[in-house]
Structure 1
């Protein structure tokens, strides 16, 4: 829906486990969360409506909990051009059955741009020369023990290789979900699975066993849509940050992420968010005794 005078748009939708059952396969500490990759998908799709399909920045401010029953209503707001094709964007939600005057919770905010970066060289040489294969057979069992409840749709990591500070991987959607990829720019479960390769990065291995979730995405560009399998090149840019290059099965570029910063999150925070329903936004206050 276009917004008069500003040239922006507001996109709305509903999320529920009944309508999107694949979301149930993404749980952290027992709480079903909308993946950060899905927030990226929403932002890029809304930006396409105004010709600003490059996600310059998206900061995730609060987890979006998908309830076991019922639904949440989602709103993506793209503002007016602030100059040089840059537009603000924000993602909100509230319970589907909330009163019309109920407040919306902002989950992410950032900037969209029209500038399209040059497409990289791709990943046509595969497996990569000089890369050493890594055993991934126990990854999801180990992640489950740490609190990441990935179901079949999100268990997409198929193979991993390492070369110096680079990690290469193959990820794919399961057969029953592959056909749905055509309905996305980049299926969130596929992008999320690409991030799982970060478990084999030297920097991430030394970061500890806590729970880490996407916090800030920068320079996200989608070059082709509808992929159901990817080749991945991941570079660690810090103890809690990485960059990604994604290509299809022939090595043709699909997407790139200049930077993704991860942040540790406490299990108590997620449980509180999951149990709060419409009051899932909390703050800390000091009370005088």
Structure 2
């Protein structure tokens, strides 16, 4: 069997490798090159050096979107993981009945597309909290920010909860029984036994929530559209609007530069987070 696998493995790897090359590597390299160009169509790109990157950092809307996205990602990461872990702990208690029903109910919002969720919550918030007949989300930046946070919590908590439940159920029962015999309280068991053994799960959940927080687009587009005056615009939506809402060939190059900055930023943050959390993992 080993000889057969060594002989034929390229045949099985080739379709995936070709898909990855043509679907990611080539577009990424082309996009990186276009970030140094001014263009309306990609086959007529004019090289302009670093001017697109200079213009991107000088764009006040982009700088505002950067800090707003960082704040949003921080809030979402903390709240999603705290709430998801709390629910997972509650649902893994043996004395609690109907846990499968609760798991299904909490997970269901994750099955709905982000653009649909955005429009649903837009209708709900503006219908309940209208100001003088005008939509609250279009008038108040703070309302738009927290509306996005609430929407994201409602969508992602159930998914992270399922991952935390799997992590909690993988903790050896011997550890928990030993803690109980030693007289550890529920709080001590959580911090001294469960959390250390959950670190691989926490690594995964933090990675997903941080990257999803920075990449949020469709919910932002549907819920606030960046209103009022681009003040609730996150990075992904800002890049989209730079491409398609601003007139002139230079803005497409600037938008591409913003996309490269955005990509490098998310990769760097994700790698730092993975390194930090993996160093905290313990061997079972």
* TM-score (normalised: structure 2): 0.24
* TM-score (normalised: structure 1): 0.23
Based on CA coordinates, which of the two structures has the bigger radius of gyration?
A: 2
Higher relative CO (CA 8 A, sep ≥ 6), structure 1 or 2?
2
Q: Higher helix fraction: Structure 1 or Structure 2?
A: 2
